[in-house]
């Protein structure tokens, strides 16, 4: 079996705003509350970009799709919510040479060639997002050839079904009580840019969420790299009575292991969860070596795909650190189902943040939580198909 072609697509906008900044819509994966609500972000320190989260995002965080075809008629595909036309260009102009004529089962070899060949300009960002798309599409393809779901290629089931927490804006947190999810993660509306007033507002916000949810559900805070050690430490002191499980990505990513380790020691028993915007598997080795996190959250569609996340999970296993991939969807769920060190998964709500519904219009058969749990059907590959009504052929 040989790879004969690679097809690339950008995504036409559906009802959840998938087309992104390339079309001038400045949208974000999932649309809805994530695009219109006040959410602190790394650019909040600049007032022009603080009001709405998507104001600072460009086409590098747009979705794209990749389809890998073979001479035996079997194909593999993926929709990635990051990379957009930039990632498509990397695949088309650079990675294509490693794919055409290759055996799709040579995933490790292809991954290593992509990684080494982009060292002068890659090691993260859209290049890593492009690698992720190729890697995931190859896993999908190989599993389809073998007529197996991907999780069986990764070691099989480690649990019958996957418990989930849900991510929402705090304004919608109350509606998720009693729906089977074990916890609610809220996107922090305020951060360092808001000063002491931001501390007060975040304290009031967390207090309200705890009142709304009661004592049975976990509460987590997605800080989205908009805090610093002072802000996180002072807030931790203010909210200890509300039993917060973790602060997620409180500090800017990249070479911040020592700062996260310091923060972790200051805010315990609140945990530190990081990894959303760490792209290189070697970065996770450093994070774990310096004991800079209680939970690591690699973004499977950004950090190099399943091949990279399996390496990260192997590093984490030695210290029994949970590996909870950031975001939600079939790709994450297959990994979580197969990994003993991944006890649960995230479900990211979309639209108005009150319903269980698919993340993408451009995928068909996306598995969804029922009463807070995801069950993976035994369909071949990742079990999802492309909705071609939303695909736009990439033109370099």
Q: Which residues are catalytic?
A: 326
Q: What does the buried/exposed string (b/e) look like for 169-178 if buried means 16 or more CB atoms within 10 Å of the residue's CB?
A: bbbbbebbee
Q: What is the secondary structure of 69-112 as a DSSP string?
A: EETTS-EEEEEESS-HHHHHHHIIIIIHHHHTTS-TT-HHHHHH
305: nearest Cα among 110, 148, 169, 172: 110
Q: What is the DSSP letter of 255?
A: S
Contact between 304 and 132 under an 8 Å Cβ cutoff? The reply is yes
Retrieve residue 302's tokens.
Answer: 């950004």
Map residue 165 onto helix, strand or coil: strand
Sign of the C-alpha dihedral computed for residues 197, 198, 199 and 201 taken in this order: positive
Q: What is the secondary structure of 186-220 as a DSSP string?
A: EE-S--GGGHHHHHHHHHHHHHHHHHHH-SSSEEE
**176 contacts: CB under 8 Å, gap ≥ 6:** 166, 168, 184, 213, 217
Contact between 11 and 362 under an 8 Å Cβ cutoff? The reply is yes
Does 217 sit behind a cis peptide bond, omega within 30 degrees of 0 on the bond before it? no
Q: What is the DSSP letter of 183?
A: E
Position of tokens 């260009």? 89
């Amino acid at each position: 079996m040989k790879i004969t072609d690679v097809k690339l697509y950008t995504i036409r906008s559906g009802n959840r705003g998938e087309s992104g900044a390339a079309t001038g819509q400045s949208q974000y994966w999932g649309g809805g509350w994530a695009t219109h609500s006040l959410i602190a972000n790394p650019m909040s320190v600049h007032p022009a970009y603080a009001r709405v989260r998507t104001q600072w995002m460009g086409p590098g965080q747009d979705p794209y799709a990749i389809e890998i075809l073979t001479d035996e008629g079997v194909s593999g595909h993926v929709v990635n919510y990051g990379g957009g036309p930039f990632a498509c260009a990397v695949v088309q102009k650079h990675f294509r040479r490693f794919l055409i004529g290759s055996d799709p089962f040579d995933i490790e070899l292809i991954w290593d060639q992509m990684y080494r060949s982009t060292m002068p300009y890659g090691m993260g960002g859209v290049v890593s997002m492009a690698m992720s798309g190729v890697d995931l599409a190859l896993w999908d393809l190989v599993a389809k050839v073998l007529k197996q779901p991907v999780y069986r290629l990764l070691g099989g089931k480690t649990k019958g079904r996957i418990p989930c927490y849900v991510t929402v804006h705090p304004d919608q947190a109350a509606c998720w009580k009693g729906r089977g999810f074990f916890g609610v993660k809220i996107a922090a509306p305020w951060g360092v840019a808001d000063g002491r007033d931001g501390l007060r507002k975040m304290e009031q916000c967390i207090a309200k969420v705890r009142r709304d949810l009661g004592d049975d559900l976990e509460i987590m805070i997605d800080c989205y790299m908009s805090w610093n050690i002072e802000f996180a430490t002072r807030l931790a002191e203010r909210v200890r009575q509300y039993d917060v499980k973790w602060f997620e990505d409180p500090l800017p990513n990249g070479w911040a292991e020592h700062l996260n380790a310091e923060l972790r020691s200051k805010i315990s028993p609140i945990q530190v969860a990081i990894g959303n915007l760490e792209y290189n598997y070697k970065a996770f080795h450093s994070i774990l070596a310096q004991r800079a996190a209680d939970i690591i959250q690699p973004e499977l569609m950004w950090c190099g795909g399943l091949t990279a996340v399996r390496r990260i999970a192997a590093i984490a296993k030695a210290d029994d650190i949970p590996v909870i991939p950031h975001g939600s969807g079939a790709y994450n769920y297959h990994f979580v189902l197969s990994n003993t060190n991944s006890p649960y998964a995230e479900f990211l709500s979309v639209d108005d943040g009150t319903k269980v519904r698919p993340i993408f219009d451009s995928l068909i058969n996306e598995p969804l939580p029922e009463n807070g749990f995801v069950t993976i059907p035994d369909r071949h590959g990742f079990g999802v198909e492309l909705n071609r009504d939303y695909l736009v052929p990439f033109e370099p």
